[in-house]
Amino acid sequence: MKIMVETSARHIHVTQADLDTLFGPGYQLTPKKDLSQPGQFACAEKVEVVGPKSSLKMSILGPVRPETQIEVAKTDARALGIDVPLRMSADLEGTPGCKVIGPKGEIELKNGMIVAKRHAHFTPEQAQEYGVSDGEAIGIRLNENGRALVFEDVIARVSKTAGLAVHIDTDEANAAGLNGTVEGEVVKLG
């Protein structure tokens, strides 16, 4: 069965408290583009994420969250000089932190940086239609630009508010020769 596959470039999610420090008290994010997950959006605001070797500009994704989280590809992590683990979103315990600089201030995160594990979003109805369950590892078959491959260990995430989509990082998209959003096929592993 077909599913949209999107490339998720490096970005940061912030708490309101961290947003206030970076951009000023009471600051509100400026939506620039809606994302495939309902209620989520790319923002006009950018910050500088600083590691021991270099720094990278990153877009903020909204809305604000309960914890600040930075998502990078392994290539970005190497450029920053930080050893970043592969994790599901919000699994931040024991992850590295870094400095984040905004126009009005900076924060020093104790943790929060991850390489996001590839995953697929489904509503409960879509999960039933595709024959997958929450937390199940599935495969996604791609065949773009003559670089056919199957990504295994794509974690199904089922929620009532999901927008049907697979999220991979820029390193994975490059390996598959992807250019923008493409269509993939769900493959049962086993």
Alpha-carbon torsion angle 144, 128, 86, 42, nearest 10: 70
24 and 108, same domain (yes or no): yes
111 and 183, same domain (yes or no): no
Specify the pairing of strand 31-34 against strand 86-87. unpaired
26 and 103, same domain (yes or no): yes
54-80 pLDDT, tens digit each: 999 999 999 999 999 999 999 999 999
**Cα-Cα-Cα-Cα dihedral sign, residues 170, 175, 177, 182:** negative
125 and 110, same domain (yes or no): no
| Inter-CA distances, 122 with 8, 45, 84, 100, Å | 17, 29, 27, 32
Which of residues 115, 135, 157 is at a domain's end? Answer: 115
Residue 189 in this model has a pLDDT that exceeds 90: no
Which of residues 82, 115, 148 is at a domain's end? Answer: 115
Strand partners, 149: 142
Q: Give the pLDDT confidence score for residue 179 in this predicted structure.
A: 87
85 and 102, same domain (yes or no): yes
Structural domain includes residue 34 = yes
48 and 131, same domain (yes or no): no
104 and 16, same domain (yes or no): yes
Structural domain includes residue 3 = no
Q: Give the pLDDT confidence score for residue 180 in this predicted structure.
A: 87
Distance CA 167, CA 125 (A): 19
**Cα-Cα-Cα-Cα dihedral sign, residues 7, 12, 16, 21:** negative
| Inter-CA distances, 121 with 50, 81, 82, 126, 135, Å | 31, 31, 28, 9, 10
Which pTM does this prediction carry?
A: 0.94
Which of residues 79, 99, 115 is at a domain's end? Answer: 115
2-28 pLDDT, tens digit each: 999 999 999 999 999 999 999 999 999
Structural domain includes residue 1 = no
- Identify whether 63 is preceded by a cis peptide bond (ω within 30 of 0): yes
139 and 78, same domain (yes or no): no
Residue 188's contacts (CB-CB under 8 Å, 6 or more residues apart) are 131, 132, 138, 139
Q: At 58, which amino acid appears?
A: M
Domain containing 162 equals: 119-187
Domain count, the chain: 2
Structural domain includes residue 48 = yes
Specify the pairing of strand 11-13 against strand 69-71. antiparallel
Residue 145 in this model has a pLDDT that exceeds 80: no
Neighbours of 54 (CB within 10 A): 12
38 and 131, same domain (yes or no): no
